[in-house]
Structures are given as C-alpha cells and as structure tokens.
Amino acid sequence: MKRLELVDSPYLVREAKVCEARQMTKSERYLKIVLKDAHDLDHEPGQFVMVSIAGVGEAPISICSSPTKEGYFELVVRNVGKVTSAIHKLEAGDTVGIRGPFGRGFPVRILEGNDLLFVAGGLGIVPLRSLVDFVIDNRRDFGRVNILLGCRTPQDILFRDEVALWEKRIDVNFSCTVDRADPEWKGHVGVITSLIPGVDLDPDRTFAVVVGPPIMYKFVIKELLKKGIPEKQIIVSLERHMKCGVGKCGHCQIADYYCCQDGPVFSYDEIKENIEAL
C-alpha cells in the first residue's frame, strides 16, 4: 500500500526550535523560531501559525516578522490560557510544533505604489508589524507611510526599540497615544481615533490598514470614512478564536466567512455588514 504523503498537508506538525525568548511585558512574550525541516516559513505578512506544545495543545499565533527576514520567524504571545501559559515557559533551545502558515494575509501587491496609513491598537501591532517591516524593507515600492499606535499605558507599548526607530525615520510619519499616561510620558494622551483627524493624506491613493481589539474597529473606520478613504481601501485583520486553522471547526466563523481561511485579512467593503458582530 502506498504511503500517504503528508508533506503539503495542513495537518502536518513541523518541528521547530526556539532560538530566542524574552519577556516583553507582564503579559507578552517574544519568541524567535527556526524550522528544523526548512529554511523559511514562506509566509505572507498578516498570516498566522498554529503553535503546539506536546501534551498541552495548540493555539493560533500571529506571525509578527516580515518574510524579508530569512531563516527564522517571530511570534509575540499573550498569556491568556493553558496553551499560551505553556508557551510563555519556553526558553531558547526548546522545541515546539508548528502548523501553517494559514489564512489570507495583507494584499501587498495591491498596496504597492500607494500611500499607507497603519492604525494599530494594543496587541494589533503584532500582526501589523509583519507588514510595516515588509514595507520598510521595500520602501521604494510604496508612497507616503503614516503609522498610528495606541496603547492603554506606556508600559504596554511593544517593540519599544523599533517604535523609537520608526519615530526617527524621515520617510515615515509616526504618532503614538496612550489611554492613561504616567509621570514620565511626554506624548499624546487619548484614544487612537483622536490621532486620525491630524493625518495629512490623499484619500484617493491611501490604503488604511487597521488591526486591534474588536471594539476599536467601528470607531476607527468611522474616522477613516470621514477622511474620504474608500471602503475598498480600508483593510482590517480580524481576531477570532481559531481552533483548527483549516475552516473545519467553525469557531472563527463570521456570517459566511471563516477567519482562518477567508481572512483574517479583509477589506472593509467585504465585511462591513458583519462588523457589528465582532
């Protein structure tokens, strides 16, 4: 009997090694991962992987690194349950299982040649970073770039060193706001929507990419529509509780869409009728 070939199966768990691990905040841990059977993950910005711990389970985790970074990929994991708690205990040299990459990523070919407005709320900077780094590594292929970042407190800001570099770049306009400041914070205080009116943009050639908690979307999108950005040029990445990654279990279903297969990236005109269900 011919052996079933599983090399291209979405159910295949590939062995990978953690080559770097560090705590970023009280809740978020950074992991740098190397696959043992391949040079690269071959992902698109905005996709995710299923990370498994033997004897514990698996969880969907957004890839936060650009495919331009060869030989490894990066994850940032929030500790919210049994599996993610086990992932937080991983150290350099430990082994994990990887399935994927899964999902529809950001439409980088459509974005090329256009101005970009990135809007990230809280943990939304994690999947969005994969696209931001891709754009920066291919900077000549894109027009003006605006990055807006909103966090609850200054202590919740992820990728602090990179954020500081974005702020210094002359080819990127960067703004950050926090909901609650501390005595050392010198920046803007307020919700992220308060930054949008001050952005100078050409709506006809601007694509807005929005990633953050569900409650943020309708308010951010309302402000983007006020700026005149067409619905088809507003891109969102939706976070749902995904279980299988292959559109079989139904946990991530929104109306007729399965976020793990049809998304997690959508244009607003695709999903606008269901945005209230988030």
51-83 burial: b if 16+ Cβ within 10 Å, else e: bbbeeeebbbbbbbbbbebeebbbbbbbbeeeb
Residue 151 has pLDDT above 90, yes or no: yes
56 neighbors 86 (Cβ within 8 angstroms):
yes
Which of 81-90, 218-227, 253-262 comes out lowest in average pLDDT? 253-262
Count the neighbouring beta carbons within 10 Å of the beta carbon of residue 225: 15
Residue 254 has pLDDT above 60, yes or no: yes
Q: 277: helix, coil or strand? A: helix
Query: Of 236, 29, 18, 8, which Cα lies nearest the Cα of 121?
Result: 236
CA dihedral (236, 43, 29, 128) positive or negative: negative
Model confidence over 39-70: pLDDT tens digits? 778 899 999 999 999 999 999 999 999 999 99
Q: 252: helix, coil or strand? A: coil
Residue 1 has pLDDT above 60, yes or no: no
Whole-angstrom CA distances from 46 to 121, 127, 180 are 15, 6, 29
Instruction: Please give the domain boundaries of the chain with CATH numbers for all domains.
Output: 14-101 (2.40.30.10), 108-277 (3.40.50.80)
> Can you give the pTM of this predicted structure?
0.91
Residue 7 has pLDDT above 50, yes or no: yes
Distance CA 151, CA 149 (A): 7
Distance CA 194, CA 200 (A): 14
Model confidence over 166-192: pLDDT tens digits? 999 999 999 999 999 988 898 899 999
Mean pLDDT score of the chain, rounded to an integer?
89
pLDDT of residue 4: 44
Pull the structure tokens for residue 214: 């569900």
